[in-house]
């Protein structure tokens, strides 16, 4: 399955790299207001570089009323004052590049904030210069919205606007009106917004909800979805949004041409890349379309491994499906981000309750890093942080506030990083943090783990540095091996090198027969257990353990 034999392709920095996602509100506060910021990220760049990652992806830091914490942009070209200023970002870029770190920024292109000047002008009347920049529609004869489209955040995707006397579309919050990509001026303007940051030396763009740019120009209603098929990725299956096939409100065919225009822009800035977030009715099909060949996105990632499902068979079938359907593109994998429960909690419950969470964290770090492709890790994953329990009165996320208690929102994975237990607020801030640091995270601080050779942090570092020394791990093919129900086994191959990986994802002890002669990776640390054998050796794998042979 999909190999890189062209040496030129293997030197594209983003292929096989490790990308570390920074959620800026929660990494480090530099000015004592309880909210993380750009100078705080710059302060911690050396720590991030020492993890062994090649790039950072920074969630939105642009001007915003913060109703969706930066994913509601009111000015694409300015840093929001709570995060600093444009000069602070320029300093971050310089320092990151000094440390050989690439910088990827999060671009939210499908919608803006209702506080954006474009929307303020668009809503005034039907004849102004921005009148067609957003999706407006007349009410039906009985005053209802033009169709049955729903917002992911609850309720109708249409909001009545008294000023303009029409409904406007919002796939997310009411305060996040959708741009009208059927308008050529909008497409041109959004490419200009991306180019503004390319001119300031960013190395790539992560494209939020990129399949939501276009809507059906005929405003056709979505058909209903049978109850048995209603599932959620990042939201509750009880959310009414899951009750429709979303054929007409997103993932429209016209989006392909815009993606190709975006790629043409990036190609004018050598060394830059694009990573699209894709969550559609058939995410694998959409990802294959959006990343096909060299004319579209460099990479896409879906929500399949951000789901609650976890088993050897599920991961095997998911990865194999991506390899089959996206054979003409380069894969990217993530098991955590700012929108889903932390993976140690989400998947850790699969194992015997006696398994400690540190062991689960190490297994999942290694599993992600052994897959073919580029990988995205989320801040705190290197510490083995668990999902925080946030009380309703502490909740900040509008998604959680809307669907509590069935869905408790995304705040549990967004709590501040615990740096040092000897300092106020674990060294994150001199002030009370915007979200509480849970007590269970206080024993998993960076300070404590630095000094423990068996910590999750030191395993993460050792593993990524080990991974980086093996071309097979970065660029090789992947072939799954048949090795029992609970064992996820596969082979990576690049040129003359071969490596085999065996992961016990079950709750009982399993015996495997490695093909290779040297065990070079195990569940406690990299190279902690090395032995050679001249013949096939049986190895006992405890639950939540793994080996790699070559």
**Measuring CA to CA, which residue among 261, 251, 243, 256 is closest to residue 292?**
256
Kindly report the length of the chain: 550
Cα gap 2→297, rounded to integer Å: 17
208 is a catalytic site residue: yes
State the DSSP code for 272. -
Residues whose CB falls within 8 Å of the CB of residue 149, separated by 6 or more in sequence, listed in order: 156, 157, 158, 169, 171, 221, 222, 244, 248, 249
Contact between residue 489 and residue 481 where contact means Cβ atoms under 8 Å apart: yes
**C-alpha 513: how far from its chain's center?**
35
Residues whose CB falls within 8 Å of the CB of residue 141, separated by 6 or more in sequence, listed in order: none
Please identify which of the residues 54, 72, 178, 277 carries the catalytic annotation: 277
Contact between residue 284 and residue 305 where contact means Cβ atoms under 8 Å apart: no
Contact between residue 457 and residue 418 where contact means Cβ atoms under 8 Å apart: no
Residues whose CB falls within 8 Å of the CB of residue 377, separated by 6 or more in sequence, listed in order: 18, 19, 20, 21, 53, 334, 336, 365, 368
Tokens 């040297």 appear where?
518
For 406-509, list the strands marked E by DSSP. 477-481, 487-494, 497-504
The arrangement of strands across the sheet holding 546-549 comes to: 477-481, 487-494, 497-504, 546-549, 518-521, 526-532
Cα gap 337→20, rounded to integer Å: 10
**C-alpha 262: how far from its chain's center?**
20
Please identify which of the residues 208, 249, 304, 381 carries the catalytic annotation: 208
Cα gap 295→346, rounded to integer Å: 36
Cα gap 481→44, rounded to integer Å: 40
Contact between residue 215 and residue 248 where contact means Cβ atoms under 8 Å apart: yes
Contact between residue 21 and residue 333 where contact means Cβ atoms under 8 Å apart: no
Catalytic machinery residues: 208, 277
């Amino acid at each position: 399955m999909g190999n890189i034999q062209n040496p030129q392709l293997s030197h594209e920095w983003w292929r096989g790299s490790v990308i570390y996602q920074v959620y800026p509100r929660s990494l480090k506060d530099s000015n004592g207001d309880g909210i993380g910021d750009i100078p705080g990220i710059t302060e911690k760049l050396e720590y991030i570089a020492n993890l062994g990652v090649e790039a950072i992806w920074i969630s939105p830091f642009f001007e915003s009323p913060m109703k969706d914490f930066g994913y509601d942009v009111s000015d694409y070209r300015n840093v929001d004052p709570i995060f600093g200023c444009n000069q602070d970002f320029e300093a971050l870029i310089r320092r990151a590049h000094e440390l050989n770190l690439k910088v990827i920024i999060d671009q939210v292109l499908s919608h803006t904030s209702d506080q954006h000047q474009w929307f303020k002008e668009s809503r005034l009347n039907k004849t102004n210069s921005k009148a067609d920049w957003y999706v407006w529609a007349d009410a039906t004869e009985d005053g209802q919205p033009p169709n049955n489209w729903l917002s992911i955040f609850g309720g109708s995707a249409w909001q009545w606007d008294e000023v303009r006397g029409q409904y406007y579309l919002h796939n997310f919050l009411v305060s996040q009106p959708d741009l009208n990509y059927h308008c050529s001026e909008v497409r041109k303007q959004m490419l200009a917004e991306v180019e503004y940051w390319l001119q300031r030396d960013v190395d790539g763009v992560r494209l939020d909800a990129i399949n939501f740019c276009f809507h059906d120009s005929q405003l056709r209603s979505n058909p209903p979805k049978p109850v048995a098929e209603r599932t959620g990725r990042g939201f509750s299956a009880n959310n009414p949004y899951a009750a429709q096939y979303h054929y007409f409100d997103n993932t429209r065919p016209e989006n392909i041409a815009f993606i190709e225009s975006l790629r043409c822009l990036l190609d004018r800035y050598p060394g830059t890349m694009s990573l699209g977030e894709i969550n559609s009715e058939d995410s694998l099909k959409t990802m294959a379309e959006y990343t096909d060949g060299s004319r579209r996105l460099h990479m896409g990632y879906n929500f399949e491994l951000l789901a609650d499902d976890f088993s050897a068979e599920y991961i095997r079938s998911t990865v194999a499906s991506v390899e089959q359907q996206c054979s003409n593109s380069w894969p990217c994998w993530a098991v955590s981000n700012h929108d889903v429960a932390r993976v140690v909690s989400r998947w850790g419950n699969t194992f015997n309750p006696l398994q400690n969470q540190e062991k689960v964290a190490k297994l999942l770090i290694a599993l992600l890093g052994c897959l073919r492709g580029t990988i995205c890790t989320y801040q705190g994953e290197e510490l083995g942080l668990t999902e925080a329990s946030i009380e309703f009165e502490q909740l900040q996320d509008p998604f959680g506030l809307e669907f509590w208690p069935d869905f408790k929102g995304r705040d549990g994975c967004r709590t501040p990083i615990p740096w040092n237990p000897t300092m106020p607020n674990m060294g994150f801030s001199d002030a009370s943090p915007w979200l509480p640091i849970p007590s269970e995270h206080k024993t998993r601080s960076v300070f404590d783990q630095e000094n423990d050779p068996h910590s999750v942090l030191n395993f993460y570092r050792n593993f990524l540095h080990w991974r980086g020394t093996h071309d097979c791990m970065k660029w090789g093919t992947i072939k799954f091996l048949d090795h029992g129900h609970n064992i996820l086994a596969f082979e990576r191959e690049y040129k003359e090198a071969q490596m085999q990986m065996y992961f016990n994802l079950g709750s009982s002890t399993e015996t495997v027969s490695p093909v290779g002669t040297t065990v070079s990776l195990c569940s406690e640390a990299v190279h902690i257990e090395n032995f050679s054998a001249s013949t096939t050796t049986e190895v006992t794998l405890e639950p939540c353990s793994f080996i790699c042979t070559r």
